[in-house]
Amino acid sequence: MSQRVVAVYPGSFDPLTNGHLDLIERGSKIFGELIVAVLHNRDKDPLFSVDERVEMLREATHHMPNVSVDRFDGLLVDYAVRKQARVILRGVRAISDYEYEMQMALMNRKLDANLETVFMMPAVAYTFISSRLVREVAQLGGDVRGLVPPLVEARLRAKVES
Ligand code: PNS
């Protein structure tokens, strides 16, 4: 099939890490169009607002012409259908991610059998990085250089100092 495949890469991205960026770069080389979709999750107490997260993602991905950044609410499968996406892209860092990811992939398949979840692995150097740990380390004054893009590092520093 020579159709241009649209993929959605959903997540919280609070904040964007180098692991996410690595996955976006890998995905952009495989899919015709990659939409990075930030979940507007009212239940969580985020460090960065959705607007701030979208802004950072846009800045960090502007060199990839087939990557766009958006926000979504509600069911991921409904959003993917609205965007005419056939693929949901997710990253798997370690076996510990597998159970949660498998549950989500199978639930999403139950909700919409036409959508396929594709898993990719980030570079091994990023396998220990998570947004949760980055937030914790930054909030406690630790060094997050090399874990997040420099623009995120600067925003984290500003947030912690404010
Ligand atoms: O980065 P995260 O927090 O692991 O991403 C989780 C995300 C956004 C992919 C997931 O929570 C999601 O898709 N939420 C939207 C609501 C939904 O569709 N729930 C059913 C999915 S099984």
Atom from ligand 1 closest to the CA of residue 75: 18
**DSSP line for 35-82:** EEEEE--SSS--SS-HHHHHHHHHHHHTT-TTEEEEEE-S-HHHHHHH
pLDDT band (50, 70, 90) for residue 84: very high
Tell me the pTM: 0.96
Closest-CA residue to 76 (of 87, 61, 91): 87
Ligand 1 geometric centre to CA of 105 (Å): 10
Atom from ligand 1 closest to the CA of residue 39: 8
Instruction: Please tell me whether the peptide bond between 15 and the residue prior to it is cis, using omega within 30 degrees of 0.
Output: yes
Ligand 1 geometric centre to CA of 50 (Å): 15
For the stretch 115-144, pLDDT in tens is 999 999 999 999 999 999 999 999 999 999
